[in-house]
């Protein structure tokens, strides 16, 4: 696992061997950031929910976003995220919360985000539940992005969201929703590998 681009390009990240932990692969991460690079800005506030190793949130920080909030309930993962952030000198632009994601979305600690990345357990309904909470509590900015990494069966529809892109990579699907956008750029599903 490594940082693909930005100020920490090529740096390796530490990982853990925990049952059920499934870090986003470098190939999927690279494809994801190729899709969203036009939407990244130095003022963006990003959430990495179900953060696991912090791999994706760290990539956002390396690419220069203002701040990333990591939310994860596993204590070992929290320690790993902090260690990786410390090793890469990224702690100042990060906040790390050890708590349940749904609880976080309903807490006073949860700001409004420009980009939210959701990578819940594949065999759960957490992604849909989280999107409902995000929209209910206005936790995503107008024209913000909600990105879901899921299994290929994931589907969610809401009038306030448009699908910007949807891609399949083996048994993984990346769905990128835009909030308040009137046009759907690319609703077709393509299989990359």
Instruction: For residue 181, count CB atoms less than 10 angstroms from its CB and return exposed for 0-12, middle for 13-18, buried for 19 or more.
Output: middle
pLDDT digits (tens, 9 = 90+) for 98-136: 999 999 999 999 999 999 999 998 788 899 999 999 999
pLDDT of residue 68: 98
pLDDT of residue 13: 87
Characterize the bridge pairing of strands 161-169 and 189-191: parallel
Task: Phi first, then psi: give them for residue 162, nearest 5 degrees.
Answer: -120, 145
Across 131-159, average pLDDT: 93
Q: Is the pLDDT of residue 183 over 80?
A: no
Look at the block and give the residue holding tokens 């949130």.
Answer: 57
Burial annotation 86-122 (CB, 10 A radius, 16+ → b, else e):
eebebeeebebbeeebeebbeeeebeebbbbbbbbeb
CB 68 within 8 A of CB 51: no
Q: Is the pLDDT of residue 51 over 80?
A: yes
Look at the block and give the residue holding tokens 């696992």.
Answer: 1
pLDDT digits (tens, 9 = 90+) for 59-104: 999 999 999 999 999 999 999 999 999 999 999 999 999 999 999 9
In a domain, 77, yes or no: yes
In a domain, 125, yes or no: yes
Query: 86: which strand partners?
Result: none
- Report the CATH number that the domain containing residue 31 is assigned in CATH: 3.40.50.150
| Rounded Cα gap, residues 167 and 28, in angstroms | 10
The parent domain of residue 143 ranges over: 26-180
Q: Is the pLDDT of residue 177 over 70?
A: yes
- The count of structural domains within the chain is 1
Q: Is the pLDDT of residue 1 over 90?
A: no
- pLDDT category at 14 given cuts 50, 70, 90 is confident
In a domain, 58, yes or no: yes
In a domain, 3, yes or no: no
In a domain, 144, yes or no: yes
In a domain, 141, yes or no: yes
| Rounded Cα gap, residues 49 and 147, in angstroms | 10
Query: What rounded mean pLDDT belongs to the chain?
Result: 88
């Amino acid at each position: 696992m490594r940082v693909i681009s930005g100020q920490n390009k090529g740096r390796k990240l530490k990982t853990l061997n925990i049952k059920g932990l499934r870090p986003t692969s470098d190939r999927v991460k690279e494809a994801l950031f190729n899709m969203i690079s036009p939407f990244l800005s130095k003022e963006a506030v990003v959430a990495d929910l179900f953060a696991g190793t912090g791999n994706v949130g760290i990539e956002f920080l390396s690419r220069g976003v203002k701040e990333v909030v990591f939310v994860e309930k596993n204590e070992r993962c929290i320690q790993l995220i902090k260690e990786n952030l410390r090793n890469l000198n990224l702690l100042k632009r990060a906040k790390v919360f050890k708590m349940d994601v749904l609880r976080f979305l309903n807490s006073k600690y949860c700001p409004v985000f420009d980009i939210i990345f959701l990578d819940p357990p594949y065999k759960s309904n957490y992604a849909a539940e989280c999107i409902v909470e995000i929209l209910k509590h206005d936790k995503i900015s107008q024209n913000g992005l909600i990105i879901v990494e899921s299994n290929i069966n994931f589907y969610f529809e809401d009038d306030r969201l448009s699908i910007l892109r949807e891609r399949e990579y083996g048994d993984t699907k990346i769905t990128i929703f835009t909030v308040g956008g009137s046009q759907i750029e690319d609703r077709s599903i393509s299989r990359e590998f």
